[in-house]
Amino acid sequence: MFKRLCNPLQSRSFFLFGARSTGKSTLLRDLPQFSESGYVDLLDDEVLDAYAREPKRLELLAQKHEWIFIDEVQKASKLLNTVHKLIEGKKNRFALTGSSARKLKRGGANLLGGRANVYQLYPLTATELGNRFELATALKFGTLPELVALKSREEKREYLKSYYLTFIREEIQIEQIVRKLDPFRNFLHVAAQMSGKVLNVHKIAKDVGADDKTVVNYLQILQDTLVGYVIPGFHRSIRKSQQQPAKLYLFDLGVQNYLNDLIDTIPNPRTSHYGDLFENFIVLEMIRLNEYSRKDYHLSYYRTQSGVEVDLVLSKARKDVLIEIKSTTRIDFDEVKALARNTTGFGKSAKRYYLSQDTHSGIADGVHCMHWRDFLRTFF
């Protein structure tokens, strides 16, 4: 069992979204009110059939319990109309989980009009893993909760294979999200190769045998099913930021490595493969901790006109935090100077960080040089 950082406020109803097997049901069961709540498990086919045919069953349950927990609510989205009525009239409170917001959005489901908070659960962070965290293991196999409990490499490999096949079958095929599965399967493998890199939609379309519009739809599917995040290029104007090439990050490094046919490859330090995985790992940690800590930073990356990139920009109320991520165990002060030089346009008020695996910390050329764990611990 792991103490999760996701901590839904329990003063009102809430949605808890997250990709498959991130631990949503486990988190709900750990909440103090769960033992006295009504529980509707829509992963159970008989329960799903009963509530889909007779949504008024929920009203009977609401007479007995103040709190009602509904797992995978997108499987019977019409229940949300009854949920809405019960929140308004009976003052019931609901905890609603879902592995995909896509079906709710596309089906025009009642999203309760702001009457429920919205939270997201991710694979485990280094903080949640505590003493069980190993960077090499996280870079190779990821941090999905069920996988972390497995002992052997063979078990972890088979788990990731099963995860991929289940995602294709239950999220994509059964829900009929795409008409043709083969191009989408090809897209998933290409997306894994592109994780952490600037997206070229036209090139991806050629690689998977589809048109640009289809690839844009595929990218949206990854975001809606919560297995991919798109980070835009930095610009003060949100509209112009959205027009710049974006970067894609898959939600878990183990799934990424499996799709990329690298699950049997050991990430060796001082290689570009290791550096790419480390950068992706840090970005994913920041996405997760930004959500859990309710910091609400806008995440982007920055590219100068000469093509030099800064890995991550955290922005809020015109306050910018510029972050360069390096997997090395020693600070490269030439790179530190380059970070300061290439970001002068942000002004002196912006904070600049150079994160690495060097345990020494300090300030050079106005840049804070820190071990990555120290930064995450103090910043979030």
Q: Taking Cα atoms as reference points, which of 306, 360, 351, 352 lies closest to residue 329? A: 360
Contacts with 108 (C-beta within 8 Å, 6 or more apart), sequence order: none
Co-location of 116 and 145 in the same domain: no
Its domain, for residue 315, covers: 293-379
Co-location of 231 and 361 in the same domain: no
Co-location of 110 and 134 in the same domain: no
Q: Which among 93, 121, 149 is the end of a domain?
A: 121
Confidence of residue 125 (pLDDT cuts 50, 70, 90): very high
Does any domain span residue 318?
A: yes
Does any domain span residue 287?
A: no
Q: What is the DSSP string of 340-374?
A: HHHTGGG-TTSEEEEEES-S--EEETTEEEEEHHH
The reported pLDDT for the residue numbered 317 is 87
**Is residue 258 within 8 Å of residue 201, measured between CB atoms?**
no
Least confident piece of the model among 102-106, 173-177, 344-348, 363-367: 102-106
Co-location of 37 and 91 in the same domain: yes
Co-location of 158 and 243 in the same domain: yes
Does any domain span residue 286?
A: no
Q: What is the mean pLDDT of the chain?
A: 92
Co-location of 341 and 369 in the same domain: yes
Does any domain span residue 280?
A: no
Confidence of residue 174 (pLDDT cuts 50, 70, 90): confident
Co-location of 100 and 138 in the same domain: no
The reported pLDDT for the residue numbered 310 is 96
**Is residue 356 within 8 Å of residue 373, measured between CB atoms?**
no
**Distance in angstroms (rounded) separating the CA atoms of residues 169 and 178:** 11
Residue 175: pLDDT above 70?
no
Least confident piece of the model among 24-38, 52-66, 161-175, 220-234: 161-175
Does any domain span residue 196?
A: yes
Co-location of 224 and 162 in the same domain: yes
**Structural domains in the chain (count):** 3
Does any domain span residue 59?
A: yes
Task: Give the CATH number for residue 159.
Answer: 1.10.10
Confidence of residue 178 (pLDDT cuts 50, 70, 90): confident
Confidence of residue 163 (pLDDT cuts 50, 70, 90): very high
Q: Taking residues 319-348, what's their average pLDDT?
A: 95
pLDDT digits (tens, 9 = 90+) for 278-333: 999 999 999 999 999 999 999 999 998 888 899 999 999 889 999 999 999 999 99
Does any domain span residue 9?
A: no
Co-location of 372 and 251 in the same domain: no
Q: Which among 78, 93, 121 is the end of a domain?
A: 121
The reported pLDDT for the residue numbered 115 is 83
Co-location of 158 and 247 in the same domain: yes
Co-location of 249 and 130 in the same domain: yes
The reported pLDDT for the residue numbered 90 is 74
The reported pLDDT for the residue numbered 91 is 81
Co-location of 87 and 175 in the same domain: no
Q: How many C-beta neighbours within 10 Å does residue 72 have? A: 20
pLDDT digits (tens, 9 = 90+) for 44-92: 999 999 999 999 999 999 999 999 999 999 888 889 889 999 998 878 9
Does any domain span residue 288?
A: no
